[in-house]
Chains A and B, each alone.
Chain A
Amino acid sequence: MRPRLGPAGFFLIPALALILVFYVAPLILSVYISFTPLKNWNLDRYLGETSLDNYRALYSLMRFDPDFQKVLKTTVVFTTVTLAVNVLGGLGLALALYFMDERLSLPYRVLWLLPRMTPVAVYSLLWYYFFLGSPEGTLNSILMRLGVIDEPVQWGTDPRLLPEMAWAILVIVNGFVGVSFGMIVFYSALHNIPREQVIAARVDGASTLQLMRYVLIPQIRWHIVYVTVWQLLSLLTTFAHIFLLVEWGVVDRYWGQNLALYVFLKAFSGGESYQGLAAAAATILVVIGVVLGFIALRVMRFREMMVEPKGELG
């Protein structure tokens, strides 16, 4: 049969057009730039000649530049740990919320949504003061008052505490932003499970843990996959909070930098900027994201979860 533009195609056109203009086109452009030696936005001079030089440069940076190696390690650790915190934390919060009294649940939800609702700069500023290395920093002043430490600690930059402390700060700051997403998605999914199933399980003698393990969590596994993949991709590309933390000196310049921020700084920082190199790093980031996304779907057995459609479509 010859494919025809059915009603589905018709309704997809606007969305496809938007994706084309705002996503596919820039993507192609940036892949193209990654093969050019574009520097300091000097388009006239550098566009046109293409080579693999940027990728070669990245490869040797990876092998020989200790700072770039720090960035890569930070990216891996930051992404995986924050992902675990986001998904497991979101799941834990949603389950707690599910078993919680109605009256408590609203303030509780708002509380956890605050980090996401607060503007990035304000939210980061709170953490800036919290981890500030002077005696006035919140954490320092608390610990000094308690007598745990005598001197103020440079939490994110003291070489003796690197890299773990810098990583911890990144995970904490971003973790609080991310958990609310999982919490909201999981909570609404849990609420869609008929209440009678929970009652039936209780009558059959299920403890709260067994109820979660055998009845509730298996039924929201699709949502867990969704949140995991979504958070993975957004963590790979996030840099707003991290940028401020680095700029304000809360964390070490390299032990506190992920690849997404590296791309941003290379392309847009003052002084010499290297758009070609940044584009190459960005391209690699996209490839990593796509590959990891597929692996995640595979590992979570996405296919098995696809239910056969109820009727015959098409």
Chain B
Amino acid sequence: MVEVRLERVSKRFGRVVAVNEVSLVFEDGRFTVLLGPSGSGKSTLLYLIAGIYKPTSGRIFFGDRDVTELPPKERNVGLVFQNYALYPHMTVYDNIAFPLRLRGVPEPEIDSRVQEVAKLLRIEELLDRYPGQLSGGQQQRVALARALVKRPAVLLLDEPLSNLDALLRLSIRAELRKLQQSLGITAIHVTHDQAEAMSMADKIVVIDRGRVQQVGPPEEVYERPRNLFVATFIGSPPSNTLPGSVESDGGYPVVRVAGSTYRPGEEEARVVEEAGLDRVVVAFRPEHARLLEAPPDEGFDGLSLEGEVYLVEPLGKENIVTLTVAGLPVKTVTPPEQRPGPGEKLYIAVPRPRVMLFDPDTGLNLWSLAEQLAAARRPD
């Protein structure tokens, strides 16, 4: 219903910079997920959009309207919290009606709108109860109803699923997504659960220490992490990282990593030379590594490591195998039938497209480092 745009928004609390120079666009009618660890500034960003906080600098737009100085009630946003924040002394009905009563909507209209939204969220039978008499999932529906009853232009969700059990979380995830799509509402959903982000988002914004780390559709954030933070934050178990040093093999840069040699692709080799790197961080996802009994064939194109099995965690649909490679832990995911014993010597093979290289100083993926170098070279 409206596009939300942030332009170089910062928010400071005394010395803490909770949100740092954030520029973002939340597309109209899309479901955007803000993903980041605890304390990264997700809630603060949401409250800035809601108008609870005023930015220290920067501007916020709803469509063409500059709302930076507007109080919350003139922004027409719906807000849902992790702890639901229902008013315990009001019935479910009164909770949902509250935003409308504050606006002075006439009672008959309030009644029809409360009934309508209650039906949408299937909580009609709960209207006479008090929040204390509801389960967590029911409370969350009521909180959602209270946010939706005023027909907000933007729906802000601050970790609304974190207090629910795993099964309920899955079903509410899907429901929430369907609801958002059918209403066509612009939704911004905060979470620190990367699986939740991957499964719900049209677009993911990864944020850490108040700064945007990467913006993109879920596949992109997963496949092409812009930096080490994103690579290790997204994915479960997280990406393996190993320190490597750059050497020259007849003029071509190769990486010595955990006792073996990795020959990067031409593109990456060019960046390494251009940036004059003598060290890189080699990373790959556990689910992209294969475990072999024998070293891979001569013709194998990728990263090959030798390791000793340390721990095997069977999860039913797969096993997580932790190995030590040159003294460093490396995790791999194997199919259920492949279940090596501790102490076994095995080979890890990661095909070239799945191997990621990062600059240890800036943490940037080499492709993103290349972009930066190119940008720095441009005269203007």
Once the chains bind, are B99 and A218 in contact (CB under 8 Å)?
Answer: no
Once the chains bind, are B52 and A202 in contact (CB under 8 Å)?
Answer: yes
Q: Fill in one digit per residue for B286-298: 1 if any A CB lies within 8 Å of its CB, else 0.
A: 0000000000000
Cβ of B61 within 8 Å of any chain A Cβ, yes or no, is no
**Chain A residues, CB < 8 A from B102:** 201, 204-206, 210
Once the chains bind, are B85 and A203 in contact (CB under 8 Å)?
Answer: no
Nearest Cβ in chain A — how far from B137, in angstroms? 18
Once the chains bind, are B83 and A194 in contact (CB under 8 Å)?
Answer: yes
Cβ of A299 within 8 Å of any chain B Cβ, yes or no, is no
Nearest Cβ in chain B — how far from A210, in angstroms? 6
**Chain B residues, CB < 8 A from A205:** 72-73, 99, 102-103
**With known contacts A204-B99, A307-B132, A196–B52 Cβ distance under 8 A:** no
A210–B73 Cα distance when bound, in Å, is 13
Interface residues of B in 54-105 (CB under 8 A from A): 72-73, 77-79, 81, 83, 85-89, 98-99, 102-103
Partner of B52, one of A199, A206, A218: A199
Query: Please, which residue of chain B has its CB at the minimum distance from the CB of A205?
Result: B73
A203–B52 Cα distance when bound, in Å, is 7
A199–B76 Cα distance when bound, in Å, is 14
**Chain A residues, CB < 8 A from B73:** 202-206
Query: Please, which residue of chain A has its CB at the minimum distance from the CB of B89?
Result: A218
Interface residues of B in 338-352 (CB under 8 A from A): none
Interface centre among A194, A205, A218 (most CB of B within 10 A): A205
Once the chains bind, are A215 and B87 in contact (CB under 8 Å)?
Answer: yes
Query: Please, which residue of chain B has its CB at the minimum distance from the CB of A204?
Result: B99
**Chain A residues, CB < 8 A from B86:** 197
A100–B362 Cα distance when bound, in Å, is 43
Nearest Cβ in chain A — how far from B51, in angstroms? 7
Once the chains bind, are B79 and A203 in contact (CB under 8 Å)?
Answer: yes
Cβ of B150 within 8 Å of any chain A Cβ, yes or no, is yes
Interface centre among A196, A202, A214, A215 (most CB of B within 10 A): A196
Cβ of A219 within 8 Å of any chain B Cβ, yes or no, is yes
Cβ of A146 within 8 Å of any chain B Cβ, yes or no, is no
**Chain A residues, CB < 8 A from B81:** 196, 199-200
Q: Fill in one digit per residue for A175-219: 1 if any B CB lies within 8 Å of its CB, else 0.
A: 000000000000000000010110111111110001000110011
**Chain B residues, CB < 8 A from A201:** 98, 102
A204–B150 Cα distance when bound, in Å, is 8
Once the chains bind, are A199 and B89 in contact (CB under 8 Å)?
Answer: no
A242–B83 Cα distance when bound, in Å, is 50
**With known contacts A196-B83, A219-B88, A219-B89, A203–B50 Cβ distance under 8 A:** yes
How many residue pairs link A and B with beta carbons under 8 A? The number is 53
Once the chains bind, are B77 and A197 in contact (CB under 8 Å)?
Answer: no
Once the chains bind, are A203 and B77 in contact (CB under 8 Å)?
Answer: yes
For the residues of A in contact with B, the DSSP-based class is helix
Q: Chain B: interface residue count, which band?
A: 20 to 34
**Chain B residues, CB < 8 A from A203:** 50-52, 72-73, 77-79
**Chain A residues, CB < 8 A from B78:** 203
Partner of B85, one of A199, A206, A219, A307: A199
A269–B87 Cα distance when bound, in Å, is 55
Cβ of B222 within 8 Å of any chain A Cβ, yes or no, is no
Once the chains bind, are A199 and B132 in contact (CB under 8 Å)?
Answer: no
Once the chains bind, are B79 and A199 in contact (CB under 8 Å)?
Answer: yes
A95–B98 Cα distance when bound, in Å, is 22
Cβ of B367 within 8 Å of any chain A Cβ, yes or no, is no
Once the chains bind, are B85 and A202 in contact (CB under 8 Å)?
Answer: no
A204–B147 Cα distance when bound, in Å, is 8
Nearest Cβ in chain B — how far from A168, in angstroms? 37
Query: Please, which residue of chain B has its CB at the minimum distance from the CB of A198?
Result: B85
Q: Fill in one digit per residue for B99-139: 1 if any A CB lies within 8 Å of its CB, else 0.
A: 10011000000000000000000000000000010000000
A200–B89 Cα distance when bound, in Å, is 15
Query: Please, which residue of chain B has its CB at the minimum distance from the CB of A199?
Result: B52
**Chain A residues, CB < 8 A from B52:** 199, 202-203
Nearest Cβ in chain B — how far from A2, in angstroms? 35
Nearest Cβ in chain B — how far from A150, in angstroms? 53
Once the chains bind, are B79 and A200 in contact (CB under 8 Å)?
Answer: yes
Query: Please, which residue of chain B has its CB at the minimum distance from the CB of A206?
Result: B102
Cβ of B310 within 8 Å of any chain A Cβ, yes or no, is no
Nearest Cβ in chain B — how far from A222, in angstroms? 10
Once the chains bind, are A200 and B85 in contact (CB under 8 Å)?
Answer: yes
Cβ of B47 within 8 Å of any chain A Cβ, yes or no, is yes
**Chain B residues, CB < 8 A from A196:** 81, 83, 85
Nearest Cβ in chain A — how far from B18, in angstroms? 15
A200–B152 Cα distance when bound, in Å, is 13
Interface residues of B in 154-174 (CB under 8 A from A): none
Once the chains bind, are B87 and A197 in contact (CB under 8 Å)?
Answer: yes
**Chain B residues, CB < 8 A from A200:** 79, 81, 85, 146
Nearest Cβ in chain B — how far from A198, in angstroms? 9
Query: Please, which residue of chain B has its CB at the minimum distance from the CB of A197?
Result: B85
Query: Please, which residue of chain B has its CB at the minimum distance from the CB of A211?
Result: B102
A138–B51 Cα distance when bound, in Å, is 49
Q: Fill in one digit per residue for B346-378: 1 if any A CB lies within 8 Å of its CB, else 0.
A: 000000000000000000000000000000000
- Nearest 5 A/B pairs, CB to CB: A205-B73, A196-B85, A204-B99, A196-B81, A203-B72
The interface of chain A, by Cβ under 8 A from chain B, is 194, 196-197, 199-206, 210, 214-215, 218-219, 307
Contacts beyond the supplied A199-B79, A203-B52: 4 A-B pairs with Cβ under 8 Å? A197-B85, A204-B99, A205-B72, A219-B87
The interface of chain B, by Cβ under 8 A from chain A, is 47, 50-52, 72-73, 77-79, 81, 83, 85-89, 98-99, 102-103, 132, 146, 150
14 residue pairs A–B, Cβ–Cβ below 8 Å: A194-B83, A194-B85, A199-B79, A200-B81, A200-B85, A200-B146, A201-B102, A202-B52, A203-B77, A203-B79, A204-B73, A205-B73, A205-B103, A219-B89
